[in-house]
Chain A
């Protein structure tokens, strides 16, 4: 379950804009 959540979190973060 943990790794599924990690995968999801990583996916969400990858779509966020980078700090300017």
Chain B
């Protein structure tokens, strides 16, 4: 069978589908001071997943927490990678209490594209990954 670390090189998705892969990728991002991008990506997925079984109040609290931590501060690594229109859409949703499971989808896509085009290829060439293999 293909060893996991070879699968990680197939796509960002295969990497993020493996606990050890996530762990190593996060270590790399931490070194590059952009681990927040990965945390944000998972927070968006988690937010969407929780919708079915969580009450509205919890969803609102969570949406606010994600907004405050990753988007509000314009100098944050995540905030800098998200388009202004996407940020104001999310801000509007939070301010008007329009909480929707898909409200972070666009922002998540933008961060994912950024990782696919930038940090993921760098990770595959990094010492952290090469030493692991």
Chain A interface residues (CB < 8 Å from chain B): 4-5, 7-8, 10-20
Q: Which residues of A are found within 8 Å of B46, using beta-carbon distances?
A: 10-15
Q: Give which listed residue, B22, B42, B65, contacts A4 with CB less than 8 A.
A: B65
Q: How far is the CA of A7 from the CA of B22 in the complex (A)?
A: 20
Given contacts A8-B43, A8-B69, A15 and B62 within 8 Å (CB-CB)? no
Chain B interface residues (CB < 8 Å from chain A): 16-19, 22, 39, 42-47, 49-50, 58, 61-62, 64-66, 68-69
Q: Is the CB of A15 within 8 A of B65?
A: no
Q: A8's closest neighbor in chain B, by CB?
A: B65
Given contacts A4-B61, A7-B61, A15 and B69 within 8 Å (CB-CB)? no
